[in-house]
Amino acid sequence: MIVSPKILSVIVPLFNEEDSIDHFLQVIIPILESIASKYTILWNILAVDDGSTDHTAQKIRRWVQQNPHVQGLVLSRNFGKEAALTAGLAHADADAVIVIDVDMQDPPSIMEEMVRHWLDGADMVVGVRSARENDTRSKRLTSNLYYKLYNKIAQRPIPANAGDFRLMSRSVVSAVLQLHERNRFMKGIFSWVGFKTEYVYFERAERQHGSTKWNYWKLFNFGIDGLTSFSTLPLRIWTYVGLLISMFAFSYGIWIIFRTLFFGEVVKGFPTIMVTILFLGGLQLFSFGILGEYIGRLYQEVKKRPLYIIKEKINME
């Protein structure tokens, strides 16, 4: 019986990465070649151009001419990394895929260990950053706090310091693609689907070329997306807060009636009234805001717009 070799596909999302792509492919191609010959597997690289406005797409085309293992998918505009990854996963025709960033912050050298775990039976091999020395203190602190909060309230925890860098078997990819939500918090989705998971630890290097597309404001909003995607606790909490406040208000009301009946009316109490009105007003606005967050997401989901639009396929059947 002849067993056809397994296929490994490396998916790399690219947004304005004309400065990074050459170095990335120069490093990763020899690594993949050596993995392929060592474990007799086939490989390809699927570069997803997430609507770059620079020469990223031209660079992909040039690489495709040099190396038939390289394939390209060009999106019609910038849809964001999560959508670009989803596009890559949907078009990868492989037994396993590895998702990696172009900027060399995810070291390609550990791909071999990932492949080994996969061939040993793991369905998902997650790259975990063991050191974040290159991040600022405040970034490390906020990210730690965020993971703590997320894991407290989400249905399924995500490992702290795990990024998108990971290997997934065909079954995991199919499962991930079954989650049709528009709001794609990939880390949450990856952990939600389950399967046998292994971890590989690495130290995260500094970005080699170009610049990060993230800033604090974007990260903050990304964090909110993650929480609202995988937990409804922020909504339910207001039921409890409201219940507590009503119970307190009710007893206090009874006390006021009692006092007025037996001791007459008192006019004092302006500060108390002001403080109460302001406090409750603020609380109400805040809880409306949270309701709004969920309603906005409902609106996005019911429209069922596609997650991405493909403009061009390069070297793909």
Residue 198 near ligand UDP by CB under 6 A: no
Nearer to ligand UDP, 116 or 207 (CB): 207
Name, in order, each residue with C-beta under 8 angstroms of 209's C-beta and a sequence gap of 6 or more.
17, 19, 20, 23, 103
Nearest Cα neighbor of 75 from 275, 315, 313 is 313
- Among residue numbers 205 through 234, which ones bind Mg ion (CB under 5 A)? 207
Residue 78 near ligand UDP by CB under 6 A: yes
Q: How far is the CB of 110 from ligand UDP (least distance, A)?
A: 16
Other CB atoms within 10 A of residue 187 CB: 22
Q: CA angle 279-282-285, nearest 5°?
A: 150
| Cα dist from 169 to 106, 117, 188, 195, 225, whole Å | 19, 11, 17, 10, 26
Contact yes or no for 96/118 (Cβ under 8 A): yes
How many residues touch Mg ion (CB under 5 A)?
A: 4
Nearer to ligand UDP, 78 or 287 (CB): 78
> Tokens standing for 301?
């989901």
> What angle do the packed helices 111-119 and 21-39 form, to 10 degrees?
30
Residue 214 near ligand UDP by CB under 6 A: yes
Name, in order, each residue with C-beta under 8 angstroms of 186's C-beta and a sequence gap of 6 or more.
82, 85, 164
Nearer to ligand UDP, 215 or 272 (CB): 215
Contacting range for Mg ion; rule: CB under 5 A; set: 86-94, 101-109, 140-148, 224-232: 101-109
Nearest Cα neighbor of 235 from 297, 180, 184, 302 is 297
Member of 18, 50, 95, 103 binding Mg ion (CB under 5 A): 103
Member of 18, 50, 95, 198 binding ligand UDP (CB under 6 A): 50
Member of 10, 15, 25, 168 binding ligand UDP (CB under 6 A): 15
Member of 70, 73, 96, 102 binding ligand UDP (CB under 6 A): 102
Q: How far is the CB of 242 from ligand UDP (least distance, A)?
A: 38
How many residues touch ligand UDP (CB under 6 A)?
A: 17
Member of 20, 44, 86, 105 binding Mg ion (CB under 5 A): 105
Give the whole-angstrom CA distance, residue 197 versus residue 220: 28
Nearest Cα neighbor of 32 from 94, 76, 123 is 94
Member of 10, 11, 14, 189 binding ligand UDP (CB under 6 A): 14
Contacting range for Mg ion; rule: CB under 5 A; set: 27-35, 60-68, 99-107, 167-175: 99-107
Give the whole-angstrom CA distance, residue 100 versus residue 6: 20
Tell me, rounded to whole angstroms, the distance of Cα 274 from its chain centroid. 43
Contacting range for Mg ion; rule: CB under 5 A; set: 30-38, 93-101, 130-138, 281-289: 93-101
Q: How far is the CB of 55 from ligand UDP (least distance, A)?
A: 14
Residue 129 near ligand UDP by CB under 6 A: no
Enumerate binding residues for Mg ion (CB under 5 A).
101, 103, 105, 207
- Applying CB under 6 A, which residues contact ligand UDP? 13-15, 17, 50, 78, 80-81, 84, 101-103, 105, 207, 212-214
